[in-house]
Amino acid sequence: MPDPILLYYPYIIDFLIVLLVLITVLVDISKFMYSYLLIIPPAVLLYLVTGTLFYALVLILSVIVSKYLYSVRFFYYAAALILISIMLFVFRISGSDWMYFDFCLGYGGLVAFLGDKGSLVNIRSNDHSKGKIRQIEMRRDYVQIAGGLIIFTILYFGTFFYLRMFITWAVLIFLIIGNYYSRKSNTKIGSLISYFERPSVPIGLGAIWFGIGILFSLGLVDSGKIFALIIFASTVGDPLATIVGSNIHSPKLFFNHRKSWAGFAAMLLPTCLLGYFLAGFPGLLIGVTGTVAESLSFHTIDDNFSVPATMGIITRIIQSIT
């Protein structure tokens, strides 16, 4: 006879999400309507693929979490997401199920950002502040490279099935910590985080974009080596492009006059070489895609999201045709 908990846990999780969604709909529906419309296509597709409404509910909950960033309500909904993910882990969902879960978190965060006027204002402020204070940019880039190399090494030598789950939790916990210290900027840790932030930009905005980009790509990639390449491009290749591009004078890209050929090459060469080493020609193509995505980045969608997301999409396309 099957364990009653194993038999009924999907319905327990569904009930929890429905309850949270109903509370939000009753309290603040106008804030979410546009984003809810944008999640209909992937929600329908996920239902057709999986035969369950669970992922549609996760999509809605992820929109709610992202909409409430930098507010007290965020903590309750983010904690609920972590609780749900722990329940999924305890009951041993498959790797593909966890991919769907990550995709929902990443896509929900994206549409929440793009469908919120306040978020768009913050995004434009961040874009206009880029490169204005060189010392801040260098600090950010060096920390990003150091952290990226550590994560890359762990991914390269670790077991991806478990690491992807820990990455998901790490992103959610990081968002909670960042949200907390955005409200406690006068503390020592808050001041330290602010030390790396651009003027007039909410604490951790770029890191939040990176977090949802990583979750989005995790929802599309099932290879540890390819995901390690995505991490390298996002955390090492991208800042290398900034460092080299700002220190070496070279012609501007004809398709983006804010970027230079020197910066483009600084990301392209190491990313493509690593991609070829890890996965042959497909890895090379994925590396090129990430570099082009970084060079095409514009103010509405931050390159912290566009690089990992685009590399995840091209990975899924390559896997579907080979």
Per-residue pLDDT of the chain (322 residues; tens, 9 = 90+): 443 444 445 566 666 666 666 666 665 666 777 787 888 888 888 888 887 778 888 888 888 888 888 788 888 888 888 888 887 777 766 667 889 999 999 999 898 887 766 666 666 666 666 656 666 667 778 888 998 999 999 999 988 888 988 999 998 888 888 777 777 767 776 666 665 566 666 666 777 888 899 999 999 999 999 999 999 999 999 989 888 988 888 888 887 877 889 989 999 999 999 999 999 999 999 999 999 998 887 656 778 888 999 999 999 999 888 7
**CB burial readout 252-269, b (16+ within 10 A) else e:** ebeeeeebbbbbbbbbbe
Q: Are residues 48 and 177 in the same domain?
A: no
Which of 115, 145, 171 lies at the terminal end of a domain, its last residue? 115
Q: Are residues 102 and 122 in the same domain?
A: no
Give the pLDDT of residue 28.
64
SS3 content of the chain, % helix, strand, coil (to 5): 80, 0, 20
Q: Are residues 222 and 107 in the same domain?
A: no
Q: What are phi and psi of 69, to 5 degrees?
A: -55, 145
Distances (CA, A) of 132 to 127, 128, 207, 246, 298: 10, 8, 19, 11, 16
Which of 85, 115, 145 lies at the terminal end of a domain, its last residue? 115
pTM: predicted TM-score of the whole model, two decimal places: 0.86
Q: Are residues 59 and 87 in the same domain?
A: yes
Is the Cβ–Cβ distance between 134 and 247 less than 8 Å? no
Alpha-carbon Rg of the chain, whole angstroms? 20
Which of 100, 115, 130 lies at the terminal end of a domain, its last residue? 115
Q: Are residues 130 and 186 in the same domain?
A: yes
Number of domains in the chain: 2
Residue 203: domain span: 117-322
Taking each helix axis from N to C end, the angle separating 303-321 and 261-296, rounded to the nearest 10 degrees, works out to: 70
Q: Are residues 106 and 243 in the same domain?
A: no
Q: Are residues 290 and 155 in the same domain?
A: yes
Q: Are residues 205 and 101 in the same domain?
A: no
Q: Are residues 278 and 194 in the same domain?
A: yes
Q: Are residues 55 and 137 in the same domain?
A: no
Cα(232)–Cα(273) distance, integer angstroms: 11
Q: Are residues 152 and 23 in the same domain?
A: no
Give the pLDDT of residue 219.
93
Coil, strand, or helix at residue 256? strand
Give the pLDDT of residue 117.
66
Coil, strand, or helix at residue 149? helix
Distances (CA, A) of 201 to 50, 211, 300, 315: 40, 17, 14, 32
Q: Are residues 95 and 186 in the same domain?
A: no
**CB burial readout 215-227, b (16+ within 10 A) else e:** bbbbbbbbbbbbb
